[in-house]
Amino acid sequence: MKKILTHIFLALMSFISIYPLIWTIVSSVKPGTEFFTNQLSLTGFKPTLENYIRVWGKASFGTYFLNSVLVTVCTVCLVVIMTNLAGYALGRYNFVGSKLLMGIFLSSICIPLVSTLIPVYQIIRRVGLMGTRTGLILAGAGGAHVVFLLLYSNYYKTVPYELCEAAEMDGCGFFKTYLNVMAPLSKPITTTVVIMESVWTWNAFQLPLILTLNNPKARTLAVGLYSFKGENTVDWTGICAGGAIAMIPIIVLFILFQKAIVDGMAGAVKG
Amino acid sequence: MTARKKKTITTNLWCWAFVSLTLIFYILFQGYPIICSVIYSLHDWSGMTPDMRYVGLANFKNLMKDAMFWSAFKNSFKYMAVMVPLEVSVSLLYACLLNSPKLKGKTFYRACLFLPVVITAAVAGIVMSFIFSTGGAVNYILTSLKIVDKAVNWMGNAKLAVAAVVLVSLWKDVGTYMLYWLAVLQGVSKDIIEAAELDGANSIKLFFYVTLPVIAPAAGVIVILCTINSLKAFDIIQTLTGGGPFFATDVIATYIYKMAFTADIGMPRFGYASAASLTFGFVVIIIGVILNLIKGKLQRKETAR
C-alpha cells in the first residue's frame, strides 16, 4: 500500500515536472488555428513544421541558434583550457601565492552577478565588442569557475606522484609532463566540465541580454525568444517553436550524458 | 643546491603561467568590475554619455529613501524566506523517496524531476507564462476541480503573481537540491537502516533517528547554496512576470536591470544602479558569512558530541 502511494506520488510529480516541456514541444508542431481552438490537447491533430519554418527564417531563430552554438562551443573550450591549467597548478603544486589565489577564487562564489553586470557591460562596450559574439564569449568565460577549479585541483591531487617522476626521468619538463601525462588523465573531469559549462552557457540569459541590447543579430536563443515574445505576444505557436529549438538540444544532451551531469552536480556539493 | 633552487623557480614560474589565464579572466570580469562598481556608485552618471559627476554618497542616501528599491529589496528576502524552506524540504522528500533501494523506476523518476533544471530558465519562464495564462493548464485544472469558478489571471494579481513565481521556481530548481540530497544520503549506512528496520522502526522514526543526524552537516551547505541562489534570481522572474504587476514581483536583480538598462523607470542611471547592486551584493556576502559561521558552529558541536 505504501509502495503504491509512493509510486502514485512520484509519477504525478514527474508528470507535472515534464508537462511544460511536453506541452511546448507538442504546441510547436500544432497548426495555429488548432492551437487557438484547443491549446491544451496533446494529441488529435495533424503535426506541422510550419511554426518552425516561420520562426527559423522570419524571426531569425536560425541566427539565434547559430549564435548559441558558436558562443557555447567557444566559451566551453576557453573555460576548459583555463580551469584545467589553473586546477593543475593549484592542485599539484604548493607554489608562492597558491593559497592566496585559491582563497581569492573561492571567495568569488558569493559575489552576485548583478554586482558586476554594469561594469562588465562597460568593459565590453569600451573594447568595442558590444553586440558581438566575441563579447558574449569573453564575458561568459569571465569569473573564476570555482566548481571546475575545485574539480580539477582535487582530481590532480589524487594522481600518484610516481607518474610525474617517471615522466621527469624521461626528460619531460613541466609543460611536457602536463601535456603528455597529466592532462590526458583528467578526461573524466573534462567530460563533466564540458557538459556542465555547455548547459550553463546555453542557458545563460542575464549577461547575453544586456550585451546584445543594441544588436538583435548577436542574440542567443534565450534572449532571442524573450525579445520575440515581447514583439509577437499573439504568436504562441511560434514562441513554442522557438522554445523547443532552445530546449531540444539540451534535453538530448541530458539524455545522452545523464550520468555525467548527475555526478557533476553531486560533485559540486561535495567539493 | 643551486640546481634545486633553479628548479623551484622554474616550477613557480610555470605554475603562475598556468593560473594566469584564469587570473586574467577573473580580474577582468570579476575583480576589476567590483572596483568599477564602487567608482560608478559615487557618481551621477547615465552610462550613455561620458560625463560623470562626482556626488559622493548621494546615490546611497537617495537609495535609502527609494521606495521602489526597498520594495525590491524586501521582495528578494521574502522570496528567499519562502523558497529556501520549500525547496530544501521538497527536494529532501523526493530524495528520501528515491533513495529507497527497492523502488522500481527510480532512475526514470529522477530524470523527470531533474529535467527542468537543465532547461533554459528564460525559456521556462516564457513557457510557464502560457501555462499559467487564462486558457492554460493550471486554470484548466483549477476550474475542472471546481476550486475556482472561472479562470484566474495569475499575472494580473500581485499575490497570485508572487505565488506563480514561487511555484515555477520550485518546479525549475528542486531537481538540483534533490541531487545534492541524494549524494548526501549515499553516506547513510545501509546496514544501520536495515538493523533499525529489523528493530521495528517505521520510516518516520528511521528518518529522524538514523538519517537526519547523518545528513545534518551537509544540510548546511545545501541551505547556503539555496539561499545564495534564491537571492540571485533573475531569469525566471524577468521572463515570467517582468517584475509586475506594478512591481509586485520585482526583486533586486530585476530592479537593477530596469534601472540600468531599460527606460521602464525613467532614464537609465548607471551610477545609481551601481550603488543599488553594491548595497545588495554587500548584504548577500554578509548573509553568506553569517550562514557559514552558523554552519561551522553546528558542525563543531556535531563532532564534539
CA distances from B298 to A96, B79, B158, B194 (A): 34, 25, 38, 28
Pairwise pLDDT comparison (A261 vs A85), residue with the higher score: A85
Please report whether residue B94 resides in a domain: yes
Pairwise pLDDT comparison (A129 vs B51), residue with the higher score: A129
Q: Give the confidence band of B168 by pLDDT, cuts at 50, 70, 90.
A: very high
Residue B305 scores a pLDDT above 60: no
Measured in degrees and rounded to the nearest 5, phi and psi for residue B162 equal -65, -45
Is the Cα torsion angle B257, B262, B263, B268 positive or negative in sign? Answer: positive
Cβ B127–A175 below 8 Å, yes or no? no
Residues of chain B found within 8 Å of residue A83, distances taken between Cβ atoms: 22
Residues of chain B found within 8 Å of residue A119, distances taken between Cβ atoms: 32-34, 36-37, 40, 274
Closest B-chain CA to A199: B118
Is the Cα torsion angle A104, A106, A107, A109 positive or negative in sign? Answer: positive
Closest A-chain CA to B284: A110
CATH number at residue B287: 1.10.3720.10
R_g (Cα) of chain B, nearest Å: 25
- Give which of A267, A99, A69 is closest to B184, Cα–Cα: A267
Across residues B27-47, what is the average pLDDT? 90
**Per-residue model confidence as pLDDT tens digits over B126-167:** 999 999 998 889 999 999 998 888 888 999 899 999 999 999
Domain extent for B146: 58-304
The answer to whether the CB of A170 falls within 8 A of the CB of A236 is: no
Please report whether residue B44 resides in a domain: no
Cβ B22–A261 below 8 Å, yes or no? no
Q: Amino acid letter at B222?
A: I
Domains within chain A, CATH numbers bracketed:
25-270 (1.10.3720.10)
Across residues B113-117, what is the average pLDDT? 94
For residues B33 and B31, what is the distance between their CA atoms, to the nearest angstrom?
6
If one counts every other C-beta atom within 10 angstroms of the C-beta of residue A214, the result is 10
Confidence (pLDDT) at A169 = 84
**Range list of β-strands (E), B229-286:** none
Please report whether residue B252 resides in a domain: yes
Cβ A21–B26 below 8 Å, yes or no? no
If one counts every other C-beta atom within 10 angstroms of the C-beta of residue A200, the result is 17
Q: Give the confidence band of B303 by pLDDT, cuts at 50, 70, 90.
A: low
The answer to whether the CB of A131 falls within 8 A of the CB of A149 is: no
What is the percentage of chain B residues whose pLDDT exceeds 70? Answer: 98
Cβ B103–A6 below 8 Å, yes or no? yes
Q: How many domains does chain B have?
A: 1
Those of residues 33-62 in B touching chain A at CB distance below 8 A are 33-34, 36-37, 40, 47
Tally DSSP H helices, then E strands, for chain A: 16, 0
Task: Pick the range with the lowest mean pLDDT from B6-20, B142-156, B195-209, B225-239.
Answer: B195-209
On whether any CB of chain A is under 8 Å from the CB of B248, the answer is no
Cβ A247–B120 below 8 Å, yes or no? yes
Helix (H) or strand (E) holding B44: strand B43-44
Please report whether residue B18 resides in a domain: no
- Write the residue in B37, B284, B289 that is nearest to A116 by C-beta: B37
Please report whether residue B16 resides in a domain: no
Interface-testing mutation among A115, A138, A200, A203, with chain B (most B C-beta atoms within 10 A) = A115
Q: Give the confidence band of A269 by pLDDT, cuts at 50, 70, 90.
A: low
3-state secondary structure B54-75: ECCCHHHHHHHCCHHHHHHHHH
Angle CA B278–B25–A194, to nearest 5: 110
The answer to whether the CB of A80 falls within 8 A of the CB of A197 is: yes
Please report whether residue B103 resides in a domain: yes
Residues of chain A found within 8 Å of residue B99, distances taken between Cβ atoms: none
Q: Which three cell numbers stand for residue A269?
A: 556539493
Please report whether residue B38 resides in a domain: no
The answer to whether the CB of B268 falls within 8 A of the CB of B55 is: no
Please report whether residue B258 resides in a domain: yes
Confidence (pLDDT) at B228 = 86
Q: Give the confidence band of B191 by pLDDT, cuts at 50, 70, 90.
A: confident
Q: Which three cell numbers stand for residue A113?
A: 552577478
For residues A95 and B37, what is the distance between their CA atoms, to the nearest angstrom?
32
